[in-house]
Amino acid sequence: MVERRKPIPVADAVAKVMQYKKQGEAETVSIENCDGRRLAEPIVAKHPVPPFDKSPYDGFALRSADTNDASKDHQVEFAVVEHIGAGQVPTKTLEKQQATRIMTGAKIPDGADCVAMFEVCQEYERDGKNLMAMKRKLEAGTNIIPEGSEVSKEDVLVEAGAIINPGMKAVLATFGYSEVQVAKKPVVGVIATGTELLDVDEELQPGKIRNSNAYMIMSQIKRAGATGHYFGKLADEFDSSYETIRKALDQVDILITTGGVSVGDFDLMPAIYEKLGAEVLFNKIAMRPGSVTTVAVKGDQLLFGLSGNPSACYVGFELYTRPIIQHYLFNKQPFLKQVKATLQDDFPKPNPFTRFVRSYITYNNGHIGIKPAGIDKSNVVTSLAYTNALMVLPGGSRGFTAGSTVDALLLDNEDGQQNFKGVL
């Protein structure tokens, strides 16, 4: 007997999963090891920037009032009383017609209210004294970057949930964050099911295929910012599969299985969910590929039963598992970034269901284009290799022509979005 399942819309499936979202804990890591992690605390300015009035150029700091008489035809002269580099601190307060030679980034000495760039100054010695002359009148404030003009103390510079990139590391270092609170990575277990599966290093045998899903999913988990734990592959045998899955649940935050969720004779997952006492949230979604994607919950732990078919498995992870991981990681925009794009090729075959087609983004003179990545059969792994987006094609009785506007979910983009739009 073939069980008849009722498919639910994609947005409903996403909403059902997100009811069980949890935020992870924070952990402290050193600034050296925080790349690509998500902030669990905002970055706050611990001091004003710049922390003192500073010079944007090499030149002479002086009192602008002393240049009042300067003109093309009349030079004014200054005694150079001190000579400081960046990192050195001026010690002298400038008096009338005195100047301090300073370097880019240096603190402006007391008394000075402007900086004359080297280019407008002449340096010379007379009677063993260092002197400088200029022919230009300067306003107070010229070439001075005032304390706090860029950032005030206590300003929130970056919100929690942001991913740490090179620019953000500069900000962390500037404010003395030698350590930073980041979101702890959830541990996501992976179990591949299917008697037909060979290990990657096994010779191909008739009727069998190598287990590619586990490696793919482990890589998707890593890209999503979580830690994968691979428990190996299981033959389609109930008792041992049940035991492995039951034990794995104790070691992980989230568990993914691949395969066994269809209605075939060897699809054991429905019975395993039952014996575990896990509530099945849905087991059929109105989408292609991945219609058999099943999600169950035991206590507050999510079990993702992804299809054994590589493309369906890939799509199922990105649509349903990834946002749960992102929320765990404090990301306030847990869903894949969705943008409009222009279809570059005809896609003639209609399908009554919403499709998520493995695709890649092109850029054409300021417009976003999208092309299907190779043959789009759900059992073709090769088209996954160049995929960086999922094209969303609404179900219906007609195909799509080149030039149509479609939605695209960006897979490599660090930005996400707050709400799932997908297939509204």
Binding to its own copies by residue 266, rule CB under 8 A? yes
Tally Cβ neighbours within 10 Å of residue 1: 4
Helix axes of 238-249 and 269-276: crossing angle, nearest 10 degrees = 50
Whether 216 contacts 256, CB under 8 Å: no
8 scored as a contact of its own copies (CB under 8 A): no
Q: Which is nearer to its own copies, 159 or 274 (CB)?
A: 159
Of the pair 141, 264, the CB lying nearest its own copies is at 264
Please give the DSSP secondary-structure letter assigned to residue 113.
-
Is the CB of residue 391 less than 8 Å from the CB of residue 360?
no
- In whole angstroms, the minimum distance from the beta carbon of 355 to its own copies comes to 16
Residue from 141, 232, 264, 394 in contact with its own copies (CB under 8 A): 264
Residue 350 zone, left/alpha/beta (φ > 0; ψ -120 to 50; rest): beta
63-92 residues in contact with its own copies (CB under 8 A) are 83-90
CB of residue 62 to its own copies, shortest distance in Å: 18
Q: Number of C-alpha atoms within 13 angstroms, CB side, residue 131?
A: 11
Q: Is 368 in the site for its own copies (CB under 8 A)?
A: yes
Q: Using an 8 Å Cβ cutoff, are 294 and 320 in contact?
A: no
Q: Does 122 bind its own copies (CB under 8 A)?
A: no
Q: Is 165 in the site for its own copies (CB under 8 A)?
A: yes
Cβ atoms of 297 and 264 within 8 Å: the answer is no
Q: How far is the CB of 221 from its own copies (least distance, A)?
A: 9
Strands 335-343 and 367-372: what pairing? parallel
Does 125 bind its own copies (CB under 8 A)? Our answer is: no
Q: Is 43 in the site for its own copies (CB under 8 A)?
A: yes
Residue 211 dihedral angles phi and psi, to the nearest 5°: -70, 100
Does the footprint of its own copies cover residue 294 (CB under 8 A)? Answer: no
DSSP string, 173-192: HHTT-SEEEEEPPPEEEEEE
Chosen residue from 19, 365, 397, 418 binding its own copies by CB under 8 A: 365
105 binds its own copies (CB under 8 A): yes
Q: Which is nearer to its own copies, 58 or 345 (CB)?
A: 58
Question: CB 75 → its own copies: shortest distance, Å?
Answer: 18
- CB-based contact 144:94 (threshold 8 Å): no
Question: Any bridge partners for residue 79, and if so which?
Answer: 98, 131
Return the number of the residue (289 or 334) whose C-beta is nearest its own copies: 289
In our burial notation (b when 16+ CB lie closer than 10 A, e otherwise), range 85-94 reads eeeeebeeeb
Choose the stretch contacting its own copies; rule: CB under 8 A; options: 136-144, 283-291, 321-329, 359-367: 359-367
Judged by CB under 8 A, the residue of 162, 254, 287, 390 near its own copies is 162
Candidates 377, 396, 419, 424: give the one binding its own copies (CB under 8 A): 377
- Name the segment binding its own copies (CB under 8 A); options: 72-80, 92-100, 168-176, 241-249: 168-176
Q: Could you tell me which residues come within 8 angstroms of residue 119 by beta carbon, excluding any fewer than 6 positions away?
A: none
Q: Does 167 bind its own copies (CB under 8 A)?
A: yes
Binding flag, residue 323, its own copies (CB under 8 A): no
Minimum CB distance to its own copies, residue 2 (Å): 5
Instruction: Please report, as residue ranges, which positions from 179 to 218 form the binding site for its own copies (by CB under 8 A).
Output: 194-197, 200-218
Report how far residue 54's alpha carbon sits from residue 102's, in angstroms, rounded to the nearest whole number: 10
Residue 299 Rama label (left phi>0; alpha psi -120 to 50; beta): left
Which residue, 150 or 154, is less far from its own copies as judged by CB?
150
Q: Number of residues in contact with its own copies, rule: CB under 8 A?
A: 115
Binding to its own copies (CB under 8 A) within 404-423 occurs at 405, 412-415
